[in-house]
Structure 1
Amino acid sequence: MDAGTKILVVGDVRGRFKQLFQRVEQVNKKAGPFEILCCVGDFFGEDKQNEELIAYKNGFKNITVPTYILGPNKKEHGEYFENLADGEICTNLTYLGRRGVYTLSSGVKIAYLSGLEAANSGESSGSEHEFTKADVIAVRNSCLVSKNCSTEYRGVDVLLTSQWPFGMQEKENATASKLVSFLCREIKPRYHFCARSHYESAPFRMPKDETTQFELCTRFISLADVGNAEKAKYIYALTLKPVDKSRLLDLVQKTTNEIPCPFIGLDLGGAINKSDSSETRQYFYDMDGGSRKRQSGDNNRRDKRPRIPQIEQDKCWFCLSSPDVEKHLIITVGEHFYLALAKGPINKHHVMILSTKHVPCAAQLSPEDWEELNKFKMALKKFFKTLGQVVCFTERHYKSVHLQINVLAFEEGYAWKIKHSFEDKAEEFNLEFETLPALDSEKMLPEMGPYFLAELPDDSTLITRQMKHFPIHFARDVFCSENLLNCDEKVNWKDCLLDKNEEVAYVEDFRKAFAPFDFTDD
């Protein structure tokens, strides 16, 4: 029987890193292993306090449990979150990001919202240490549409915020957030963790609404700061089985100590208006698969895989509608995908297939998306065959918010070496891969949680969901190994950055050579 996923949560750390990680190591030895440690509130302290982190950054001390932190709550802490590659501060210490939903390999979903509510929360975007209505709506959207479409919405497992929700305690209302209250009411977390001081409310039930007919239970827990003089509780351990895998009876069963929901009848003071509240719910019901709207006489089997909405395209580096997309890297554009030169390419023919809109992974593609993706793959195979080369496609759905498929070609004589090279690196990193046949449908991929896959020239597919401590540059590690391209110095893409003129030249050369195989011009 599944024992569940063990999680640790702590309150404000404020630079007391040594004390925190020593305590976590003790707890992990006694009651672990824990899969993740989540930190809410202020992680960094004043400048001098943060010096304790240097030993961990330099590798002299180790963080034993993978630790994920929320963003800054004050402007002066913003500098500690700048220029982070994939959010990594040091080994086993990662910045989750401004807001989102992080799914563990077990399927446990953790929704998070960094910072404090902006004074003008109606703005489309706030400062780095603030969140707005748009941020809250985006988190809610991600939670609602990531449900299992064959069942009603069951909530998320954990919500992490630094700020308290308005209405939880009268004395906290002056510094609490009505937007956080709205988010909690909408996504219905089993546990909601905050910082500031230690307080644990009795469980309460969220009211039924358009998303579910179940009255789901929430437990609100606020944690004190690490090393506080009052010795108030600052660390909390829990074991969770994902809501999507839990018995419905366990989720709806009532207890004797429940209190009324503090968010029922709450005056949000205009923070969220009626159109905001219904916007995503309408989308939620209109989605393909699991839709409550059925055409009369339609008896066809519907695709019930979850779909991710097209949101936040203006803030994603890879969405074509984003002002941040580097358009000079684009080789050709289809209806659902485009082909682009990889940033920091291993060689002149290192390209990527990317979705034009915001889709996080291939597992979330529609059949129409999948059809065009296969067209790109077949066109690239034919192109590289004329050069006497075979192709490998890789996808890493881990610490990546947008679907990215890396494409790299090798001389035909190296085809048999590619699988062996993946197996050698897997052994080196203590990873286990499953071998699947040719990847011909999104239904072959995990519906929930991160994964890594490689499509090999022999039409077999290697896949792993063993993503705890997964090396970010694993695919490049394989490609650059001595058995294949023998260029270890190119494992990190940042060491391979080109100036813009070089990138433009690479793109022009590839576009010209690929033109006979480019179906997007048809």
Structure 2
Amino acid sequence: MDGNTKILVVGDVRGRFKQLFSRVEQVNKKAGPFEILCCVGDFFGGDKQNEELIAYKNGFKHITVPTYILGPNKAEDNKHFENLADGEVCTNLTYLGKRGVYTLSSGVKIAYLSGVEATGNIAGQHEFNKADIQALRNSCLVSKNCATDYRGVDVLLTSQWPYGMQEKENEKASKLISFLCREIKPRYHFCAINGTYFECQPFRMPKDDTTQFELCTRFISLADVGNSEKAKYIYALSLKPVDKARLLDLVQKTTNEIPCPYIGLDMSGVVKKNETSESQQFFFDMDASGNRKRRNPAGNHDKRPRIMQIDQDNCWFCLSSEKVEKHLIITVGERFYLALAKGPINSHHVLILSTKHVPCSAQLSPEEWEELDKFKSALKKLFKSLGQVVCFTERHYKTSHLVIDVLAFEEGYAWKIKHSFEDKAEEFNLEFETLPALTSSKMLPEMGPYFLAELPDDSTLITRQMKHFPLHFARDVFCAENLLNCDEKVNWKDCLLDKEEETAYVEEFRKTFAPFDFTDDDDDDDDD
């Protein structure tokens, strides 16, 4: 069908890179162009096999279709995923991350979960646990418009099989994945690592409190690339995003459907619902000992992905760096500080920055998130006292330090801000998801770049389409004709002030902010 998105999915690669990318190039020429290639299962092989990737890393060979891979399934493969800048292995080859939702420019939503189910409460880099399932489930459901209109996601990628699909495979399968499938209702679910090709007849997920529809799922396990049995290891999809598909196409049943294999599974102790949550988010039962919340003395309890170490002495924003322009600082907290924006749009254009080197909000600890939220709340109160509303934006792309851009608008302009974002998104061919108010770093992509905007109505716009993303996108929106109407200020370099003007702006804002500045509180209590 015209206008459909074409996607390729392959099973375990295990170091057969030349064979894979050669085959993909042939398929792309014959039946493409394909927008994306997704790899489930084991991507890397032994050290000798992985040498085939060197030519692609050095640019002597090229990957023709943007390729996205899942993470390791064995502890010995963790080394291949350490120190990846924004998940990039090489040009057109990217590690998606431990779990999340990747939205294509067409609107197709791909949910993904790396690794295998952990045997204990603590998940290693190659494992997932209940908390990961919770976070992924909430990421899929959080953008639905009302309690019963959820339509599912287009594709779910896992390496491990769900429990209940084939009896002979159950010992290698995961009940958590079965639960996840039942909750997020993917149209297609791909997995691998069992070395077999298996395509199940379609089945329907039951109605629940998130949807009034019985949505259809197709489960497909793919074989190894280049397997000797010549079993199918590559699968081509052409589909319209589920949110844009006709409802009739989603609910119309076919004659070959089978009962849902996940109905009737014993899920006792796996999950319970928080019935008071207005956002319909679900929370997992943790052990009574509270292991999930307790820090491990060895530091193994930190689930944040490893990132490249940056020399803080050379960072423009780390407070310990000599490069910080300290005359721009308004006030300093324990983990964050407030500063005047360089090249500000106006005198109330400020930044919230982390005192130490943190790359993005998605990698904040609960303590860091709490203080960031305090700064946001204080600024909201300040601008409300001035008859204004505030918008917070974050661009985790081509920047290595967490920076929250803060700009206020007259209250009468509040409704225009979202429209301005939508207009600019259409102009730059960007697709945004709408989330509710951000309450945790777990609502954000664990790895990879993104851009988000927190709007005055407490909704959040987010996109992960960062290829060729315009670096001045937020200022493009703010300076648009229907908002501040100052196109000449889109580039911050055109708005640079001399040091005396910057100092005057800082002093003015510091006095205005003083009644709301919680950083001076001895008991560290918030002002309410």
TM range (shorter): 0.5 to 0.7
Selected match of 1:175 from 160, 172, 175: 172
Residues 60 and 331 of structure 1, relative CA distance in 2, 3 Å threshold: farther
User: When the two structures are aligned, how many residues end up with a matched partner?
Assistant: 394
Query: If the length of structure 2 is used for normalisation, what is the TM-score?
Result: 0.63
CA distance in 1, matches of 2:479, 2:188: 41
1:98 is aligned to 2:98:
yes
After the TM superposition, which residues 142-161 of structure 1 pair with which residues of structure 2 at under 5 Å, given as runs? Answer: 142-149=139-146, 152-161=149-158
Structure 1 gaps, min length 5? 288-313, 318-325, 361-365, 380-392, 409-429, 463-477, 486-507
Q: Report Cα offsets for 1:171-227 as digits up to 9, x if no partner.
A: 001111111111111111000000022000000001111111211100000000100
- Once the two structures are TM-superposed, the CA of residue 454 in structure 1 deviates from its matched residue by 2.6
Q: Give the aligned partner of residue 253 of structure 2.
A: 254
Partner residue, 1:71:
71
Indicate whether 1:51 and 2:51 are aligned: yes
Question: Does the residue aligned with 2:226 lie in a helix, a strand or coil?
Answer: coil
2:510 is aligned to: 515
Deviation at 1:455, TM superposition (A): 4.2
Structure 2 counterpart of 1:185, one-letter code: R
Q: Describe the SS at the equivalent of 1:111.
A: strand
Aligned residues with identical type, % of pairs: 65
Deviation at 1:328, TM superposition (A): 5.5
Q: Secondary structure at the match of 1:174?
A: helix
CA distance in 1, matches of 2:47, 2:249: 46
Note closer, same or farther for the CA distance 1:431–1:249 as it changes in structure 2 (3 Å cut).
Answer: closer
CA distance in 2, matches of 1:407, 1:210: 37
The offset of 1:479, in angstroms, is 7.4
Q: Distance in 2 between matches of 1:447 and 1:217?
A: 28
The aligned counterpart of 2:277 is 283
Q: Counterpart of 1:454?
A: 473
Q: Which amino acid aligns with 1:169?
A: Q
Aligned ranges for residues 465-504 of structure 1 at < 5 Å?
none
Tell me the residue number matched to 1:108. Answer: 108
Report the CA distance between 1:57 and its aligned residue: 0.8
Secondary structure in 2 aligned to 1:9?
A: strand
User: TM-score of the superposition, structure 1-length normalised?
Assistant: 0.63
Kindly indicate whether residue 220 of structure 2 is the aligned counterpart of residue 225 of structure 1: no
Q: Which residue of the partner structure matches residue 161 of structure 2?
A: 164
Paired amino acid for 1:277: K
Query: Which segment drifts farther, 399-408 or 206-215?
Result: 399-408
Q: Tell me which residue corresponds to 1:240.
A: 239
Q: How does 1:60-459 map to 2 (within 5 A)?
A: 60-120=60-120, 123=121, 125-149=122-146, 152-195=149-192, 196=194, 197-268=196-267, 270=268, 272-273=269-270, 276-279=271-274, 282-283=276-277, 285=279, 332=331, 339=337, 352-353=351-352, 372=379, 395-396=394-395, 404-405=403-404, 449-450=463-464, 452=469, 454-456=473-475
Q: Deviations over 1:244-282 (max 9, x none)?
A: 1111111111000000100110124x4x44xx2313x75
AA aligned to 1:132 is: N
Counterpart amino acid of residue 224 in structure 2: D
User: Is the 1:107–1:449 Cα contact (8 Å) retained in structure 2?
Assistant: no
CA RMSD after TM alignment: 4.8
The one-character-per-residue Cα deviations of 1:357-399 (angstroms, maximum 9, x if unpaired) are 9689xxxxx9x979947978x99xxxxxxxxxxxxx9754779
Please tell me whether the aligned partners of residues 331 and 338 of structure 1 are also in contact (alpha carbons under 8 angstroms): no
Q: Call closer, same or farther: CA 1:108–1:62 in 2, change over 3 Å.
A: same
Q: Which amino acid aligns with 2:72?
A: P
Whole-Å separation in 1 of the counterparts to 2:39 and 2:182: 22
Give 3-state SS (helix, strand or coil) of 1:15's partner: coil
Which amino acid in 1 is paired with 2:223? A
Report the secondary structure of 1:182's partner residue. helix
1:516: how far off?
3.8
Residues 139-175 of structure 1: CA deviation (Å, up to 9, x unaligned): 1111111223386111111111000001100000111
SS for the counterpart of 1:21 is: helix
Q: 1:164 & 1:266 partners in 2: Cα distance?
A: 15
For residue 244 of structure 1, give the secondary structure of its aligned residue in structure 2: coil
In the aligned structure 2, how far is the partner of 1:399 from the partner of 1:266? 46
Identify the range of structure 1 (1-10 vs 17-26) with the bigger mean alpha-carbon deviation: 1-10
Give 1:211's aligned amino acid: T
